[in-house]
Structure 1
Amino acid sequence: MAELVYPPVIGAVRTLFKAADLRIDVGGTEHVPRDGGAVLVSNHIGYLDFLFCGLAARPAKRLVRFMAKESVFRHKVSGPLMRAMKHIPVDRSAGTGAYDHALNALRSGEVVGVFPEATISPSFTLKSFKSGAARLAQEAGVPLVPMALWGTQRLWTKGRKRDLGRSHIPVSIRVGAPVSASAEESADGVTERLRGRVQELLESAQRAYPGRPRGPEDAWWLPAHLGGTAPRPEQLAEHV
């Protein structure tokens, strides 16, 4: 079936990024398979992360079907677009339907995008990973493709105003070699290896990142362990 909506949306997103003069640095796109199913797995630091993950899959000419919370599909603007682009709604109170939907997509040769932290990390460090991505890859017999994003939190993240103007903000995207998901290994074991690989990619993106806070008030987007003022993970845990 022809993709009537997804390609024009990608074109609009690229125009938006160009208008904002974002400095996007992408590395490792050769690791996204050009055919067959795969689970694309990324850290989650901003509301626009799915756009950048999808961008990294374009050199391989792949369209990513993202798993996203069901409320996004109920929105009068985003809902019709999400459905037309064949993204996958996730009802956290009944996740079996979303899992089966994603599994069928993978078996049909689609790339499915997953944020295994399940929500944005306010500390901008990796939270623990849910095992769903690993279980999907194991059951479908497809690879996990790890990815890390850095800089997207500066555009729009939880608790901060959007900065979508001509901001010149750098955004780094790193894609790693596929992680095997053997059915003989536990899903928790695969998840642990996957998280370690995403952590390596995240640190690589952070080391290469050209942007620095412009002063103390602008240090909010930098993790505490890198000298910023973002809350530490343990501080957030105290309020859970």
Structure 2
Amino acid sequence: MARRSFLPRTTRVVVAILRPPLMVLTKRDWQGAEKLPRDGGYVLAPNHLSHLDPILISHFMVDHGVTPRFLAKDTLMTVKGLGYIMRTAEQIPVYRSSAGAAESLRAAEAAVLAGNVVTIYPEGTITRDPAAWPMSGRTGAVRVALATGRPLVPVMQWGPQEILWPYTKRPKFFPRKTIHVRVGDPLDLSDFEGQELTEKVLHEATDRLMDTLTAMMAEVRGELPSTPRIDVHTLGKSKTNYRPELDSGGGSGPRADDEQREK
């Protein structure tokens, strides 16, 4: 296990509380950590499967010397207790307005340029794919990487949905589930460097990221998606594509959208 002296005090307390039960309640298949950049800030871009994702991916990050620092909904920062934890753990709030979202990405850029690792879920919300495949992506992760010139590292996870299926409420820890994490090579965005960050450029680069995450998941699952990728930009406030027969994590129906409002 990596040293934790790099962690903010609040994060160290949370780790001390959560890591022991996670070691007991989950099995871990973690591969590719050697691909994480050794020096300087960068962007981590994981797929989003479950409300447990931040805890489970943070377990991987902490054990490999990476301080968990996420873009998180601004409304969470005002929740009593939780808000204090998130603020003192140096999480970056994402605001709903366009101006607020732009300011959030500037804060993320500043953090990366300062040598920090910032985790941005490119989908911006938990997947609504009935089989839990990645959806299309929003452009925040790519935008921060291109604006800073720092690496964009794809991280695929599979297994959190077996504990808590997307948009459900009741976790199922037993029998113990295996959390698969795969770290990919930093995404090659060299053909976009020096270009104006137009929507076309950002969406092309984001499509490349989501293709990479989907391919990484397909390798772990031993299968390919059987349906077209869901376009995250068409999602409204409607119910999710929840299917009880696929709910290996238990639950009682959809939850409210947990979207990160990235452009």
Q: TM-score, normalised by structure 1?
A: 0.81
Residue from 22, 27, 30 that aligns with 1:26 = 30
Shift of 1:61: 1.1
Counterpart selection for 1:144 from 128, 152, 176: 152
Q: Deviation of residue 154 (structure 1)? A: 2.1
Q: Distance in 1 between matches of 2:172 and 2:16?
A: 17
Aligned to 1:230: none
Partner residue in 1 for 2:217: 202
- Please give the alpha-carbon distance, in whole angstroms, between the structure 2 residues aligned to 1:130 and 1:144: 14
1:89 matched to 2:99: no
| CA distance in 1: counterparts of 2:146 and 2:189, whole angstroms | 5
User: Quick one: which of 4, 10, 18 aligns to 1:5?
Assistant: 10
More displaced stretch, 102-111 vs 45-54 = 45-54
Unmatched 5+ stretches in structure 1: 209-215, 223-240
Distance 1:10 1:134 in 2: 29
Shift of 1:167: 3.8
Amino acid at match of 1:131: T
- Is 1:155 the counterpart of 2:163? The answer is yes
* DSSP-derived class of the 2:206 partner: helix
Matched, 1:37 2:48: no
C-alpha distance in 1 between matches for 2:207 and 2:83 = 33
Q: Give the distance between the partners of 1:218 and 1:83, measured in 2 at CA.
A: 38
1:221 Cα deviation from its structure 2 partner: 4.4
Deviates more, 1:97-106 or 1:190-199: 190-199
**Which position in structure 1 is the counterpart of 2:119?**
113
1:219 aligns with 2:246: yes
Q: Secondary structure at the match of 1:122?
A: coil
Equivalent in 10, 15, 20 of residue 15 of structure 1 = 20
Unaligned runs of 5+ in 2: 1-5, 196-200, 224-242, 250-263
Q: Secondary structure at the match of 1:159?
A: coil
More displaced stretch, 79-88 vs 196-205? 196-205
Alpha-carbon distance between aligned partners in 2 of 1:153 and 1:201, rounded to the nearest angstrom: 16
Q: Structure 1 90/127 Cα, relative in aligned 2: closer, same or farther at 3 Å?
A: same
Per-residue CA deviation, residues 183-209 of structure 1 (Å, 9 max, x unaligned), is: 23522222122111111111122239x
Q: 1:112 to 1:166 in 2, by over 3 A?
A: same
Q: Is the 8 A contact 2:62 2:68 kept in 1?
A: no
Q: CA deviation at 1:153?
A: 1.2
Q: How far 1:142 sits from its partner (Å)?
A: 0.4
Check whether the contact 1:142–1:181 (CA below 8 A) recurs between aligned residues.
Answer: no
Q: Percent identity?
A: 29
Q: Which consecutive aligned stretches of 4+ in structure 1 deviate over 6 angstroms post-superposition?
A: none
* Conserved? CA contact 2:163–2:248, under 8 Å: no
Question: Equivalents in 2 of 1:153, 1:117: separation in Å?
Answer: 16
What secondary structure is seen at the aligned counterpart in 1 of 2:207?
helix
Partner residue in 1 for 2:104: 98
Summarize the Cα distance change of 1:156–1:77 in structure 2 as closer, same or farther, 3 Å threshold. farther
Q: 1:133 to 1:4 in 2, by over 3 A?
A: same
Cα distance in 1 for residues equivalent to 2:170 and 2:23:
17
Residue 140 of structure 2 corresponds to which residue in structure 1?
132
Alignment-mate amino acid for residue 108 of structure 1? A
Number of residue pairs matched? 214
Residues 135 and 210 in structure 2, CA contact (< 8 A), matched pair in contact too: no
1:146: how far off? 0.3
Paired AA for residue 12 in structure 2: P
